[in-house]
Amino acid sequence: MAVIKTSQGSEWLRRAMRCFDAGIATLVALATLWLMPDIDHDGNDYLFLILIGSLLLPAVGELFGLYQPWRGRSLYTMLGIYLVTWIATIALLSLLLVAIKGTQSFSRLWMGVSALSVLAVGSVMRTLLYGYLRRLRAQGHNLKRVLLIGKKDNIALLEKKVIETPHAGYVVVGHYIDEDDTTFFHKMAAFAQENIFQRNFDEIWIGYPLVQGNRVRHLMRLLAGIPSSIRFFPDLPDIRLLNHRITQVAGLYSLELNYTPLSGSMRFIKALEDRVLGLVLFVLFSPIMLAVAAAIRWQMGGPVLFKQERHGLDGKRFKIYKFRTMRLHKSDTTQQAAYDDDRVTPLGRFLRRTSLDEFPQLYNVLQGRMSLVGPRPHAMDHNDHYKDHIDIYMQRHRVKPGMTGWAQVNGLRGITDDVKLMEKRVEYDIYYIERWSLGFDLKILAMTITHGFVNRQP
């Protein structure tokens, strides 16, 4: 029988990670101070600021859930939470310096360099540790022991998923199958009594169809005396969930079937990302946009911008901006550009292939009607067509449309001339919505820079 090396001391690990973050912040800030000897400073003042910042970072991280167990969480989600924690810490330190009128006492260059260095080193160390833990768990170390209880098919599915994802760090140590006989709950009552103080498992996973809620409720009453984590995995074979969460409404539990992480404080973080990065990019690309506008006026004449209504957040209409790439023409319908469309000018073809025609949408981002990252806004005629052919199509509008998206950086862009192709694009959009995080956005923006600009279609 194989030896299972189980996970112990998660609370100790949380304390260690808090100390780790405080230590990293202290060492990096001191190192940058030492590497910048030309700064005229009072050592005690700088040490005091470093101490406050180092203690504040893990305290803020605790509020944002930075030290929750990593098991089963994506790297991008964790890095996104770390970035949010870092931003909040910098904001609080800045407010403190303003309140004590100490902004002139410290080198702005040092504060900027040390803050960015803390973010970089902390992110790199987390990435390395995350990879190490995944390899460790895949090799049979640091595992959570799981006991399965429920219907035969549900238990088989849970066990299959555990085997397929060894890096998640779970191992099945046993199971009890509910055959709907009268003795099952008697067995569970005896099992609960035997495992109150000592047990060979860390978590209990329950698998039942939703229609058997009464059996789950009865089982939960019997297992309530066991001080272990209990997870319920409902059988939802015919329901497509756009993410989900459990909430209470009017004293009743509800399962939100199309919940998006972009709500509450996370929506504020997303808006802050769009405004700050959007403004930076708008200023950075202003010379290029002015040059493109001048080229359009010189070569094609007429208006520089193409304006058209699209559906945005919650299906509300807004006016999207692009650089004009076609000759002026009249049309009562929205006809998507073909590969050799004679309406597209040579300059327009270049703008489309380099995605330069999309740059005016930075103004839409600053307006708050679009995001830098999100599902691309399709023409309204296309929405009217595809919403009747793809069930989850309009769920794309649970978030703001974006200038770039997960589908686009994976090559799904340009002409969509059949339902199958659009279905694949929508699947990528839904994947993004379900797994949104600040880190995921930054990854998509980075991928856009490396291979998301060039479009071989018109």
**Residue 344's domain spans which residues?**
265-452
The most distant pair of C-alpha atoms in the chain lies apart, rounded to whole Å, by 85
| CATH number reported for the structural domain that contains residue 173 in this entry | 3.40.50
Which of 238, 273, 296 marks a domain boundary? 238
Q: Which two tokens stand for residue 75?
A: 């790297």
Calculate mean pLDDT across residues 117-136: 89
Q: Are residues 392 and 433 in the same domain?
A: yes
| pTM across the whole model | 0.62
pLDDT exceeds 60 at position 338: no
> Chain-wide mean pLDDT for the chain?
83
Q: Are residues 106 and 157 in the same domain?
A: no
pLDDT in the model for residue 6: 45
Q: Are residues 284 and 421 in the same domain?
A: yes
Q: What is the pLDDT of residues 375-386, one digit of tens each?
A: 999 988 888 888
Q: Which two tokens stand for residue 54?
A: 């180092």
Q: What is the pLDDT of residues 348-372, one digit of tens each?
A: 888 888 888 899 999 999 999 999 9
pLDDT bracket for residue 4 (50, 70, 90): very low
Q: What is the pLDDT of residues 68-126, one digit of tens each?
A: 777 767 787 788 888 888 888 988 888 888 887 766 777 888 888 888 999 999 999 99
Q: Are residues 280 and 400 in the same domain?
A: yes
Q: Are residues 218 and 276 in the same domain?
A: no
Q: Which two tokens stand for residue 311?
A: 């559906």
Tell me, yes or no, whether 457 lies in a domain. no
Which of 138, 158, 173 marks a domain boundary? 138
Which of 82, 116, 138 marks a domain boundary? 138
